[in-house]
């Protein structure tokens, strides 16, 4: 008699050997105890022994992975033996009598193939068919036939299998982020390893990588210890079993176990996502013909979109271009398309370490990546799985897959930080310093990787990271304050009387009576709550925090938003020199993080807009601008960053400006075509937001109009054209792009020198909203 308790204590290999030997004996007994049918007159003699009869294991036993107290899945394969029903009864009953749970079937090879081609679960199980005893040739023909059928039916069965796994993920959750994960059925669990092998059997993907197989093997070990020690037929790693399982596996504690389970689940889920993406592409009907044109679309310097992947350009040199990694990541997030696996491998091998502090272009790319919102989550996971994120932020390893035991938290610490940054990207329209908001959101819980109060220990860590990123000392102080006090508003709002002046004064004093920090803390509180759970950020809590912020703002006298801050390296423009012949002049000078383009041209209404349109057509992203005019001649200075790394050519820009002024360059049509050609410049995001601030420059009444809108090709041209159409001149501008959003501030004046009245502001605001949403305006 089979001893199930002793069997449960065996290793997997020994458990397989014991079961195989016992089942082989049962088959021999069943064959010996079943009388053969009588020979028909003139027919062949009845077969004896196991000729034409094979006992085949499928499922976990077929894979040589039976868990303690697990089911036994068997198929009795035959080629038409008439006594097969009696043989099956003689075989199955002893297995039931031993106390094993049995999933059984009796099939001919043709019957098995028919079932496998129509039923995805049956087909998946038969891929693991393994001979236990009997006719080896019959078992081999079954395996060959079912695998051929699986390949032929892949176009029908694999979409069903994908939906089956996605359905289970929605029901059970994702293994990497569960406090009591289902090791088998959760997404990223053992099922994913089995599905990856099934896809490889369909010849639509390679065999699972070594890393994926190691993750799968670790989850098997955890599952076996759970089953062995708990004597439960469940694959859910419940809290009370985590410490004993950790001890049995030689791990420090239950948190270490859960972290290792999370890392394994993330690896399997990541590989599964990438594999399914390739399967989907392989199953799409392609145009007939020997050659299919591959669409390649440049996204940034050294970065190209190729079909549905982002790859490196042919002339890209990762070893000599430290900014390429984040430039590629930002471009991928911007168009919501993954980096190709090969590109990730190349970047992982050849990318050189970043200089410290980071160059401005690298910091800008990282902010652009974070500001892309939800698409950034998948790209950051790609970087993390290749070890690239930890290269950028060595502190990341301390929080990677670190579990959070509080039931409010849906994610591990690192994923929570990424989700918070993605949520903060939705709030960049609402703050004056979206760059500090994004970094503060990404780092707010970084201290959880160290002992102690995570807000306190996280402050110096965030400060060190911000210094390494190249932020100014003032900005470093703000980022450190955001990490130190990120719980100040929600904790105070829910635990103190917000109508008590002492409560309001305490908050104001804690943040140093700084309205900008208050604004950023409010945004981080919202993003942090949204990334935690609905329980952590209810409408009631959001209302309390907003009410507290309003009271503190009133205490600080911060009723209006401070004026936008211009770039530290704001373009410098000297008094223009008039040209008698009205010649167009263009000068280009290399400066930190790009070039400075100085354009001289005859002054006229809408000149700034025309110049912005010419720069856009030449793939130049404007970061700041100033213009002045004297005696009918204007000089405009633009701080630009080439999108594809090609420095602007003065002669080409001058020709474009002349054509735009003469009306032979149809800017609106050309920009409309560029927007169609470059899909990444399509409109995304929420409704445009327009805000006004008053100022005075050199004694002239100046209005500052700030536009937050979805970025797209030629947006600066359209916005400045709208301003010109309403009779205002742009004297300077600060332009910034965060992911898919543009944050543009324009200093505008009336040519007559009179202040801009409310009615004119209203008209300008409506025109800007229309320009931000609509197609390029007609040429002025």
614-625: pLDDT as tens digits: 998 888 888 778
- Statement: residue 780 has pLDDT above 70: no
Max Cα–Cα distance, the chain, nearest Å: 120
Under a CB-based contact definition with an 8 Å cutoff, are residues 594 and 551 in contact? no
Q: Which residues contact 360 (CB under 8 A, 6 or more apart)?
A: 470, 592, 593
Location of structure tokens 């000089």: 635
- CATH among 3.40.190.10, 3.30.70.260, 3.40.50.1970, 3.40.710.10 for 585-773: 3.30.70.260
Residue 122's pLDDT is what? 87
Please give the class, per CATH, of domain 296-392.
mainly alpha
CB atoms within 10 A of CB 73: 21
- Statement: residue 287 has pLDDT above 60: no
Residue 777's pLDDT is what? 45
Location of structure tokens 């501030």: 745
Closest-CA residue to 718 (of 564, 610, 585, 590): 610
Residue 559's pLDDT is what? 44
- Statement: residue 139 has pLDDT above 90: yes
The pLDDT tens digits of the residues spanning 212-235 come to 999 999 999 999 999 988 666 789
3-class secondary-structure state, position 184 = coil
From-to residues of CATH 3.30.70.260 in the chain: 585-773
Residue 373's pLDDT is what? 92
**Main-chain dihedrals φ then ψ at residue 593, nearest 5 degrees:** 65, 45
Report which of residues 281 and 324 the model is more confident about: 324
Q: Which residues contact 157 (CB under 8 A, 6 or more apart)?
A: 117, 120, 123, 150
Confidence of residue 419 (pLDDT cuts 50, 70, 90): very high
Residue 422's pLDDT is what? 96
Residue 623's pLDDT is what? 75
> How far lies 297's CA from each of 364, 581, 676, in Å?
22, 42, 12
Report which of residues 50 and 284 the model is more confident about: 50
Confidence of residue 500 (pLDDT cuts 50, 70, 90): confident
Strands 130-134 and 53-58: antiparallel
Report which of residues 648 and 485 the model is more confident about: 485
Residue 574's pLDDT is what? 55
From-to residues of CATH 1.20.120.330 in the chain: 156-283
**Main-chain dihedrals φ then ψ at residue 617, nearest 5 degrees:** -65, -25
- Statement: residue 408 has pLDDT above 90: no
Residue 147's pLDDT is what? 93
CA distance 662 to 647: 25
How much is the average pLDDT of 508-512?
A: 94
CA distance 411 to 423: 14
- CATH among 1.20.120.330, 3.40.47.10, 1.20.120.640, 3.40.30.10 for 156-283: 1.20.120.330
How much is the average pLDDT of 36-40?
A: 66
Closest-CA residue to 393 (of 405, 402, 380): 380
**Weakest mean pLDDT among 106-115, 147-156, 278-287, 403-412:** 278-287
**Chain-centre distance for alpha carbon 340:** 14
Closest-CA residue to 494 (of 538, 539, 541): 541
The pLDDT tens digits of the residues spanning 330-370 come to 999 999 999 999 999 999 999 999 999 999 989 999 999 99
Residue 283's pLDDT is what? 82
Strands 633-642 and 620-630: antiparallel
3-class secondary-structure state, position 162 = helix
- CATH among 3.30.460.10, 3.40.50.720, 3.40.50.300, 3.40.50.2000 for 4-38+45-152: 3.30.460.10
Residue 504's pLDDT is what? 93
Average pLDDT score over the chain: 86
Residue 292's pLDDT is what? 59
3-class SS string, 334-378: HHCCCECHHHHHHHHHHCCCCCCCCCHHHHHHHHHHHCCCHHHHH
- Statement: residue 462 has pLDDT above 50: yes
* b/e map 536-549, b = 16+ CB within 10 Å: bbeeebbebbeebb
CA distance 433 to 694: 19
How much is the average pLDDT of 250-263?
A: 95
From-to residues of CATH 1.10.110 in the chain: 296-392
Under a CB-based contact definition with an 8 Å cutoff, are residues 545 and 519 in contact? no
- Statement: residue 86 has pLDDT above 50: yes
How much is the average pLDDT of 766-774?
A: 86
- Statement: residue 566 has pLDDT above 70: no
CA distance 144 to 702: 80
CA distance 746 to 734: 7
Q: Quickly list DSSP for 470-489.
A: T--HHHHHHHHHHHHTTTHH
Report which of residues 713 and 126 the model is more confident about: 126
Closest-CA residue to 518 (of 492, 556, 467): 556
- Statement: residue 736 has pLDDT above 90: no
Closest-CA residue to 627 (of 648, 610, 642): 610
How much is the average pLDDT of 423-429?
A: 91
CA distance 134 to 126: 17
Report which of residues 2 and 528 the model is more confident about: 528
Q: How many CA atoms lie within 13 A of 747 on its CB side?
A: 20
Location of structure tokens 């002025």: 780
Query: Above pLDDT 90, what percent of the chain?
Result: 54
CA angle 263, 266, 272 (to 5 degrees): 145
How much is the average pLDDT of 119-127?
A: 89
What does the block give as tokens for 591?
A: 């400066």
């Amino acid at each position: 008699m089979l001893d199930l308790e002793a069997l449960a204590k065996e290793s997997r290999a020994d458990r397989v050997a014991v079961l195989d030997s016992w089942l082989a004996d049962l088959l021999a007994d069943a064959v010996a105890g079943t009388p053969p049918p009588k020979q028909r007159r003139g027919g062949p003699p009845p077969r004896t022994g196991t000729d034409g009869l094979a006992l085949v294991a499928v499922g976990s036993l077929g894979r040589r992975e039976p868990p303690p107290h697990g089911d036994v899945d068997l198929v009795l394969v035959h080629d038409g033996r008439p006594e097969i029903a009696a043989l099956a009864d003689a075989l199955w009953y002893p297995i039931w009598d031993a106390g094993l749970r049995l999933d059984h079937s009796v099939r001919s090879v043709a019957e098995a193939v028919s079932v496998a081609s129509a039923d995805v679960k049956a087909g998946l199980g038969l891929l693991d068919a393994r001979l236990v005893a009997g006719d080896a040739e019959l078992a081999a023909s079954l395996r060959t036939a079912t695998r051929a059928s699986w390949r032929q039916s892949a176009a029908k069965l694999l979409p069903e299998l994908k939906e089956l796994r996605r359905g289970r993920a929605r029901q059970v959750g994702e293994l990497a982020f569960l406090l009591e994960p289902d090791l088998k059925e959760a997404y990223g669990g053992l099922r994913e390893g089995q599905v990856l092998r099934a896809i490889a059997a369909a010849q639509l993907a390679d065999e699972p990588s070594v890393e994926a197989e190691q993750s799968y093997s670790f989850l098997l070990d955890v599952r076996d210890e759970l089953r062995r020690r708990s004597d439960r037929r469940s694959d859910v790693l419940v809290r009370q079993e985590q410490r004993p399982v950790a001890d049995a596996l030689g791990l420090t504690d239950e948190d270490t176990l859960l972290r290792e389970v999370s890392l394994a689940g993330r690896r399997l889920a990541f590989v599964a996502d990438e594999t399914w993406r390739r399967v989907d592409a392989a199953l799409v009907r392609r145009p007939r013909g020997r050659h299919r044109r591959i669409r390649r679309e440049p996204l940034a310097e050294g970065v190209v979109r190729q079909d549905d992947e982002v790859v490196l350009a042919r002339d890209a040199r990762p070893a000599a271009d430290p900014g390429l990694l984040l430039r590629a990541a930002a471009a991928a997030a911007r168009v919501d398309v993954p980096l190709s696996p090969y590109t990730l491998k190349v970047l992982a091998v050849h990318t050189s370490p970043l200089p410290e502090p980071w160059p401005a272009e690298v910091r800008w790319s990282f902010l652009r990546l974070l500001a892309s919102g939800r698409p950034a989550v998948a790209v950051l996971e790609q970087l993390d799985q290749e070890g690239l994120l930890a290269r950028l932020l060595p502190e990341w390893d301390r929080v990677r897959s670190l579990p959070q035991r509080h039931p409010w938290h849906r994610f591990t610490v690192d994923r929570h930080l990424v989700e918070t940054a993605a949520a903060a990207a939705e709030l960049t329209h609402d703050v004056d310093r979206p760059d500090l908001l994004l970094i503060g959101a990404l780092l707010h819980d970084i201290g959880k990787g160290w002992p102690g109060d995570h807000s306190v220990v996280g402050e110096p860590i965030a400060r060190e990271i911000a210094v390494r990123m190249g932020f100014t000392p003032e900005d470093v102080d703000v980022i450190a304050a955001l990490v130190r006090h990120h719980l100040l508003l929600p904790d105070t709002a829910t635990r103190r009387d917000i109508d008590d002046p002492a409560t309001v004064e305490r908050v104001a004093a804690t943040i140093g009576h700084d309205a900008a920090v208050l604004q950023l803390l409010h945004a981080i509180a919202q993003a942090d709550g949204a990334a935690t759970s609905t329980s952590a950020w209810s409408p009631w809590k959001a209302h309390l925090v907003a009410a507290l912020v309003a009271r503190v703002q009133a205490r600080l006298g911060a009723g209006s938003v401070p004026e936008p801050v211009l770039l530290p390296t704001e373009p410098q423009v000297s008094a223009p020199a008039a040209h008698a012949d009205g010649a167009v002049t263009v000068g280009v000078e290399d400066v930190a993080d790009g070039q400075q383009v100085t354009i001289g041209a005859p002054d006229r209404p809408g000149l700034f807009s025309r110049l912005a349109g010419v720069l856009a057509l030449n793939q130049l992203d404007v970061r700041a601008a100033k213009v002045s005019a004297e005696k009918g001649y204007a000089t405009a200075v633009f701080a630009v960053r080439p999108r594809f790394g090609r420095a602007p050519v003065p002669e080409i820009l001058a020709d474009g400006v002349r054509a735009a002024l003469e009306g032979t360059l149809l800017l609106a049509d050309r920009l409309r075509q560029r927007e169609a050609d470059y899909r990444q410049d399509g409109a995304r995001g929420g409704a445009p937001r327009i805000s006004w601030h008053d100022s005075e420059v050199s004694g002239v009444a100046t209005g500052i109009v700030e536009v937050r809108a979805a970025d797209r090709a030629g947006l600066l041209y359209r916005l400045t054209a709208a301003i010109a159409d309403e009779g205002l001149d742009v004297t300077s501008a600060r332009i910034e792009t965060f992911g898919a959003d543009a944050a543009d501030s324009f200093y505008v004046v009336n040519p007559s020198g009179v202040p801009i009245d409310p009615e004119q502001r209203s008209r300008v605001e409506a025109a800007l909203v229309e320009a931000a949403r609509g197609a390029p305006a007609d040429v002025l």
